[in-house]
């Protein structure tokens, strides 16, 4: 069927509208606090929706349906772990972040251990976040090239440029409030798509239920680990323990130590609102992933062919939208997918720029040069945003034709560093004997462990953060006891 002028008009209206909406926040940016923390004046519900949007990218919307197409609902076990991780953050890490005026998560590390470890943790965040985000930006090209027929590089460039415009001008306030709009767009668009697919499947819901039920595609729990030895199957990413334990460690790291999410939590008016935003976002994410999985099962009931027929599972949903959806609805769904892409990209740009400025540039510049004015800092913050946009564009181009199922590749890249980061943060907030040298040794060992798991083992990626965290914590604590330097309060 393809897209027609109505679809293209809807897509163009969305891209222009969201860019102009984001530009409205330019006048509010006078200081670096305004630019990176939105003056800590964002209501909890907006932060909650922004967190949901920040962890929902194009790869989520197109790859989770592909995952359900090939398997079932067992990915929801990981999402249950996401809820557990949010509770841990609320009690363990958030109280520490609201002690004082922090711009980044890694300032907490300096306060507890020292400047050298802050440099290492912030640097690790920049490297791994940029790499993971490059894969996510690449996922945009899959959708845009299918929908509009543009080349993959041109598709990446268009979305990167439009997102950069409002992120450059409006800072975190523009990021959060455009996230709110974009969340409603992509969730609403997915609901419309779900109803449309249901009407297109011959036999409707009864047919979907018969086909999917017979193949156990609605199965949520893989409880085989409870009845078979060994009880921990480290090779399967979607067992009950891998989901609950692995998902909890992954979210505690991603939402508690990654500047991408911590920056939003720091923008809340107080700690109570930050906790409320974090927990409510978990409920929304559970609903959202269930929605995307339902889309995949319904697509399977419609096509009933192997995913290899489409080249890769990630192409099934966008191909269906372009070739089978009625005109108007197809344009709305493509706009919804682009909304998720732009919200995630804007979050990455702002968080990478904030860590670059606060954790590196201002620290290393202040010792020998005059103090930079608020206007100068704001100008440099915007230049850092442009610089990271260019980096992510380059990484996305490199990712072309080099990755498999994008949602898992994105999670794998992030997971490689998360264990080492979380282990250091837990050493800082849960122990008093840990010191900087010991934590540094633990972090190196934990990161090396995760690199081994990634490159040379058959352990599923859902376990990497848990294993890396435990290795970092154990080695870091033992090394601290051996060196016995005076630990910071």
pLDDT in the model for residue 218: 94
**Residue 14, domain extent:** 5-398
Two tokens at 315?
A: 């192409």
Q: Of 405, 415, 414, 390, whose CA–CA distance to 132 is shortest?
A: 414
Rounded to whole angstroms, the Cα distance separating 300 from 260 reads 34
* 85, 245 Cβ separation under 8 angstroms: no
- The structure tokens listed for 338 are 């682009």
CB atoms within 10 A of CB 400: 13
**CATH number for the domain harbouring residue 53:** 1.20.1730.10
DSSP string across 222-268: -GGGGTSSSS--TT-TTSHHIIIIIHHHHHHHHHHT-HHHHHHHHTB
Give domain status of residue 417, yes or no: no
Cα distance between residue 76 and residue 80, in whole Å: 6
Domain tally for the chain? 1
Asked whether 317 and 142 are in contact (CB, 8 A), the reply is: no
CA geometry: angle 14, 180, 330, nearest 5 deg: 35
In whole angstroms, give the CA distance from residue 221 to residue 108. Answer: 38
**Residue 409 is assigned to a structural domain of this protein:** no
Note if the bond before 298 is cis, omega within 30 degrees: no
Q: Is residue 108 part of a domain?
A: yes
| Distance separating alpha carbons of residues 132 and 127, to the nearest angstrom | 9
State both tokens at 472.
Answer: 């970092």
Residue pLDDT, tens place only, 373-402: 878 888 999 999 999 999 999 888 877 655
Q: Is residue 415 part of a domain?
A: no
Nearest to 140, CA basis, from 126, 125, 158: 158
Report the range of poorest mean pLDDT among 80-94, 200-214, 391-405, 450-464.
Answer: 391-405
Alpha helices in 29-151 (DSSP H): 32-37, 44-54, 58-70, 76-92, 94-97, 106-112, 115-148
Residue 288 above 80 pLDDT?
A: yes
Q: How far apart are CA 328 and CA 266, in angstroms?
A: 39
Percent of the chain at pLDDT > 70 equals 92
Helix (H) or strand (E) holding 284: helix 271-303
- Residues 336 and 338: their CA atoms lie apart, in Å, by 5
In a domain, residue 418? The reply is: no
Interatomic CA distance for residues 395 and 400, integer angstroms: 9
Q: Which of 10-14, 66-70, 151-155, 358-362 has the lowest mean pLDDT?
A: 151-155
C-alpha span between 209 and 262 (Å, rounded):
41
pTM score, whole prediction = 0.90
Q: What angle do CA 70, 328, 184 make, to 5 degrees?
A: 70
Task: Report in angstroms the alpha-carbon separations of 87 from 80, 82, 220, 280, 289.
Answer: 11, 9, 22, 11, 19
Look at the alpha carbons of 89, 92, 95, 98 in this order and tell me if their dihedral is positive or negative. Answer: negative
Q: Which of 239, 217, 220 is nearest to 228 (CA)?
A: 239
Q: Is residue 449 part of a domain?
A: no
Tens-digit pLDDT profile for residues 61-118: 888 999 999 999 999 999 999 999 999 999 999 999 999 889 999 999 999 999 999 9
**167 vs 160, 178, 344, 345, 434, CA distance in Å?**
10, 10, 11, 9, 39
Per-residue pLDDT band for 292 (boundaries 50, 70, 90) equals very high
CA distance 258 to 418: 8
If one counts every other C-beta atom within 10 angstroms of the C-beta of residue 376, the result is 12
- Whether 64 is in a domain gets the answer yes
**CA dist., res. 93 & res. 106, Å (int):** 12
Query: Quick check: is 411 in a domain?
Result: no
Enter the tokens of residue 245: 């334990």
Under the banding of pLDDT at 50, 70 and 90, the label for residue 368 is low
């Amino acid at each position: 069927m393809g897209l027609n002028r109505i679809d293209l008009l809807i897509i163009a209206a969305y891209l222009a509208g969201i860019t102009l909406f984001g530009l409205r926040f330019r006048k509010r940016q006078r200081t670096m606090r305004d630019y990176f923390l939105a003056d800590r004046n964002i209501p909890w519900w907006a932060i909650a929706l922004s967190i949901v949007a920040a962890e929902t990218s194009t790869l989520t919307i197109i790859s989770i349906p592909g995952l359900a197409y090939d398997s079932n609902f067992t990915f929801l076990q990981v999402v249950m772990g996401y809820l557990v991780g949010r509770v841990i953050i609320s009690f363990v890490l958030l109280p520490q972040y609201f002690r004082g005026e922090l711009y980044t998560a890694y300032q907490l590390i300096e306060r507890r251990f020292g400047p050298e470890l802050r440099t290492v943790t912030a640097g690790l965040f920049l490297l791994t976040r940029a790499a993971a985000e490059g894969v996510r930006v690449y996922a945009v090209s899959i959708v845009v090239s299918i929908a509009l027929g543009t080349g993959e590089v041109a598709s990446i460039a268009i979305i990167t440029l439009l997102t950069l415009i409002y992120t450059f001008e409006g800072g975190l306030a523009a990021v959060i409030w455009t996230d709110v709009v974009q969340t409603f767009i992509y969730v609403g668009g997915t609901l419309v798509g779900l109803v449309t697919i249901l009407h297109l499947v011959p036999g409707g819901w009864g047919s979907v239920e018969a086909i999917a039920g017979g193949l156990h595609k609605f199965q949520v729990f893989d409880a085989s680990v409870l009845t078979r030895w060994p009880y921990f199957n480290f090779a399967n990413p979607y067992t009950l323990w891998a989901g609950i334990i692995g998902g909890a460690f992954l979210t505690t790291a991603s939402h508690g130590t990654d500047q991408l999410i911590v920056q939003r939590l720091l923008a809340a008016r107080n700690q109570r609102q930050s906790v409320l935003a974090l927990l409510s976002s978990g409920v929304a994410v559970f609903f959202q992933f269930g929605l995307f999985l339902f889309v995949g099962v319904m697509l399977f009931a419609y096509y009933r062919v192997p995913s290899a027929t489409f080249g890769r599972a990630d192409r099934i949903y966008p191909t269906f939208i372009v070739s089978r959806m009625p005109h108007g609805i197809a344009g709305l769904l493509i706009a919804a997918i682009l909304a998720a892409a732009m919200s995630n990209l804007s979050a990455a740009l702002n968080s990478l720029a904030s860590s670059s400025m606060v954790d590196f540039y201002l620290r290393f510049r202040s010792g020998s040069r005059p103090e930079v004015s608020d206007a100068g800092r704001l100008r440099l913050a915007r230049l850092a945003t442009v610089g990271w946009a260019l980096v992510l564009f380059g990484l996305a181009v490199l990712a072309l034709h080099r990755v498999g199922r994008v949602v898992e590749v994105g999670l794998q890249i992030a997971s490689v560093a998360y264990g080492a980061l979380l282990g250091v943060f837990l050493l800082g907030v849960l122990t008093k004997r840990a010191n900087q040298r010991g934590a540094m040794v633990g972090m190196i060992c934990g990161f090396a462990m995760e690199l081994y798991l990634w490159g040379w083992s058959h352990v599923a990626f859902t376990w990497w953060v848990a294993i890396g965290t435990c290795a970092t914590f154990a080695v870091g604590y033992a090394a601290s006891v051996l060196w016995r330097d005076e630990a910071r309060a």
